[in-house]
Amino acid sequence: MNVAILGFGTVGSSVARILCDLKPEGIRISHIFNRGVARKRVDWTPSHVVWTEDFDEILRSDADVIVELVGGLDPAATWVRRTLEAGKSAVTGNKKLIAAQGIELDRLARTHRAHLLYGAAVAGGIPVIPGLRQGLAGDRITRIEGILNGTCNFILSQMESGVAYAHVLKEAQRLGYAEADPTEDVDGYDARAKLVILSRIALRVGLEVDAVACRSIRQVEALDFGYARDLGCTIRQIAKAELRADGVSAFVGPTLVPQRSPLAWSRGTENMVLVSGQYGGDVVFSGHGAGGHPTAVAVVSDLIALAHGSHPVDLPSRAASISGEFQLRHYVRFVVKDTPGIVAEIAGALAAERINIDALFQRPGYKKDNLPFVVTVEACAASALRRALERIAGSAWLAQPPIDMPMLGE
């Protein structure tokens, strides 16, 4: 099976290195594509490999499988589409592309008797996608929740020790875990794309990416971890989707996680996915998802599957209405200019939405004109809590807007 690699960056070069080192039976690198390809040449690939910056040359060649590792939507989408239309199979780790156009591309692959594999699109080297597609295809999955972004997990797990967000972000950028513009990671867009892909495979529903509620971790401060510890929790960026009778509930954002939950044990750039099945119960996938080598392992695994005639189970998905509503407890942190009647006003706004206060926490040592305290509320809909907070948004005693985060159960 002749394989052409589009993109010779961190992941593409790792794929080539693994193929050269392991020499898996039945697989031969035929082409390597990159813009400005001359600067990318290395001397450890086989002499027969054609280095090119012309995609059409690859499409006309004897390559059986084209591996897209360029990323983004354009021109990657065009290249994958043309690959499948030519009857060649495609392997990709492009989460943005698969989240946005995966259903259409799967259909195109079937039409042209080709195959589209994307095991590297979620959690890098952790076999979540093949595990769901084949290992759990016999179950009815009802819920997915997990840590799908290693950058955010590194930042939040470092903040547990009291370090400020801005300082940890700089360290993540220095180590190469975060981009110069970290928006995709810290604002939840990366995890959201991965959640849409997992929902399609596990819950068998097609979700529009932009319809999934998404919140940033930028709002989290070091003091929130102190309050979280008082509640027996820590804070992680959680992606969660669950089947409902009338559709799917889904969200991505910072969330309080009980210390006894496996999700609280994940540190650094680790990813973790918890899947709940109607018959098989709970299954956990965990490991180092990010980085060139782990992601390349997933790509090479897809290539080996193709070379040996193993193709993904076809799990058709259906369109579903989507909501960000979950009945969960919530953590709400206020920073106020201390005056009489604040708690009464908060309680009144919550009561108007039929939300009950569960507990109130106030740590000592803060100035009265910038005083943080936390209110936890009993399980309620996120929209009801949002309306309650809007009622007090203009109050003179607020020193800054309140922050709320859902709290997962045990």
pLDDT for residue 364 is more than 80: yes
Name the nearest CA neighbour of 308 among 24, 84, 46. 24
CA 385 vs CA 280, 332, 338: distances in Å: 34, 10, 22
- Residue 316 neighbours by CB distance under 10 Å: 10
Radius of gyration of the chain from its Cα atoms, rounded to whole angstroms: 24
- pLDDT value at residue 217: 97
Q: Is residue 248 a contact partner of residue 321, using CB atoms and an 8 Å limit?
A: yes
Mode of pairing for the β-strands spanning 247-258 and 322-323: parallel
- pLDDT value at residue 323: 85
Q: Is residue 152 a contact partner of residue 199, using CB atoms and an 8 Å limit?
A: no
**Residue range 7-38, pLDDT digits in tens:** 999 999 999 999 999 999 999 999 999 999 99
- pLDDT value at residue 136: 92
* Contacts (Cβ under 8 Å, ≥6 apart) of 32: 4, 5, 8, 12, 16, 40, 45, 49, 50, 51, 52
Q: How many CA atoms lie within 13 A of 307 on its CB side?
A: 19
- pLDDT value at residue 310: 76
Indicate the average pLDDT of the chain.
Answer: 93
Q: How many helices (H) and strands (E) does the chain have?
A: 14, 19
CA pair distance 132, 284, nearest whole angstrom: 11
Instruction: Give all domains of the chain, ordered by start, each with its CATH number.
Output: 2-117 (3.40.50.720), 128-289+316-323 (3.30.360.10), 328-407 (3.30.70.260)
Residue 282, burial from CB neighbour count under 10 angstroms (0-12, 13-18, 19+): exposed
pLDDT for residue 297 is more than 80: yes
Name the nearest CA neighbour of 291 among 264, 271, 313. 271
% of the chain beyond a pLDDT of 90: 85
- pLDDT value at residue 82: 98
CA pair distance 130, 117, nearest whole angstrom: 9
% of the chain beyond a pLDDT of 70: 98
DSSP conformation class of 278: T
- pLDDT value at residue 309: 86
- pLDDT value at residue 109: 95
What's the whole-number mean pLDDT along residues 119-137?
Answer: 90
What's the whole-number mean pLDDT along residues 357-361?
Answer: 95
CA pair distance 384, 352, nearest whole angstrom: 9
Helix (H) or strand (E) holding 173: helix 165-174
Name the nearest CA neighbour of 69 among 315, 310, 302. 302
CA pair distance 277, 242, nearest whole angstrom: 11
Question: Is 23 among the catalytic positions?
Answer: no
Phi, psi angle pair for 3, to nearest 5°:
-120, 130
β-pair partners for 248? 243, 322
- pLDDT value at residue 389: 96
CA pair distance 105, 361, nearest whole angstrom: 51
CA pair distance 65, 88, nearest whole angstrom: 6
Range in 53-67, 178-192, 307-321, 395-409 with the lowest mean pLDDT: 307-321
Say which of 88, 95, 96, 194 is annotated catalytic: 194
pLDDT for residue 354 is more than 70: yes
- pLDDT value at residue 315: 67
Q: Name which residue leads in pLDDT, 47 or 312.
A: 47
What's the whole-number mean pLDDT along residues 332-337?
Answer: 96
Mode of pairing for the β-strands spanning 371-380 and 357-361: antiparallel
The structure's pTM equals: 0.92
